[in-house]
Amino acid sequence: MFRIGGARIAKAGARNFGTKAQPPSRLRNAVWTTSGIVIGGLGYLYLTDASAGFHKYVSTPLMRQLDAEQAHQLAIGSMKRGVCPVDRSTDDSVLEIELWGKSVTNPIGVAAGFDKNGEAIDALFGLGFGSVEIGSITPEAQEGNARPRIFRVEDSDAVINRMGLPNCGVVSAGERLRSRFWRHLASQSKQQGESVATLSSSVNRSAVAGRLLGVNVGKCKGSGDDSFDDYVTGLQKLGPYADYVVINVSCPNVTNMKANGNVEVLERTVEAVMKARNKMSGEYRPPVVLKIGPDNDLQQLRVIAQVAMDYRVDGIIATNTTRQRPGVIGVKEEGGLSGAPLKDMALATTREMYRLTQGKMAIIGCGGIRTAEDALAFAKAGASCVQVYSSMTMDGPGKAREIKDGVVRLLKGRKWADVVGEDARRK
């Protein structure tokens, strides 16, 4: 009995010894689930942060393997579907500026040309830009010039484009802007308990607190060289939904902008646009800004400044792209050059326009701005705010935050507004 019992005991012991101990399955599952949620959440926060190194060193270089226009279309398509990172940081108060009576949380904007049809406005504001300028938009939709029409100049950190103002036209763009504006107001009305009518008379046309929406208008390809009706149409149709309207008289990729080099045509154009603005119905009349090129000599700049002051234009963007090729060797593609080689020309134009307008007009600096040092140099030259474009396509969606953080460090407690025009005051 003992032997048998012992055998039984041994067998039972062997059977028990060979059976693996089972950990509490509920605890194990809870640990794995919690870990997965934490890791996934952190990964999501990282990848959706515009400042994450992933975008500068991985996603943007990958995008640059595509054809330039394909990459641009992919970026806009992703943005309008909400598939893009955001800037989660709060702007430092030293960056706050005031333009045309409106408060803006920072002076870094995105230039016209990136979002031609106003499809990614909210995504661009989400990247931390203080202003977003869409367009150029013409009265009629047009395809622009034949492809290929965008070329990267990698060795010079530059881009050449000869797009020719492709866009959806004022009807389509106007409907998109109108729908967006009222949709935002309806949402804010529910949140704040105020009527849509009350909000519509007090909010920025961007419908985002502390942000400005600019609309850049241009001429149709078939319009006369000395005509100005297209600008008036653009202003009338799109102005009600813009914090400012830009009259693009300087695009180097079209052949019918005689106002870019003819004083009489420029004056007639500015006069017609300002009259149309002043006659707009309703209480709201958007500021009008003139976008000029970098290729003007001093005498031409004097004339532009005088015309702008005579007709009380609200601001000047300095500058558009250039047909010149400063510092770019061996590139034969035609079109407007942007990026780093343009900076000195744009900076010099900004400085002259600030001086010639006696600091009484908002100057928006644009051209070759890639770093905080660049942005601050434009401010000291007289720029109330600045715009970037090419550098964002080169360095990724964190460009606005990168420049803003750098400017705050360089200001050392001073305010952006305090340094605007500093170069002129030193003389």
The pLDDT value recorded for residue 23 is 55
d(CA 50, CA 84): 8
Q: What is the pLDDT of residues 61-72, one digit of tens each?
A: 999 999 999 999
pLDDT at 8: 44
Quote the pTM value: 0.90
Residue 215 β-bridge partners: 134, 245
Instruction: Check residue 199 and give its pLDDT.
Output: 87
Structure confidence at residue 15 (pLDDT) = 46
Tell me how far apart the alpha carbons of residues 154 and 322 are, in angstroms, rounded to a whole number: 17
* pLDDT on residue 28: 77
User: In this predicted structure, what is the pLDDT of residue 11?
Assistant: 45
pLDDT at 94: 98
* Residue 298 tokens, joined: 């001093």
Q: CB–CB of 165/138 below 8 Å?
A: yes
Which residues share a beta bridge with 151? 160
Low-confidence stretches of the chain (pLDDT beneath 50): 1-19
Contact residues for 344 (Cβ-Cβ < 8 A; gap 6+): 326, 368
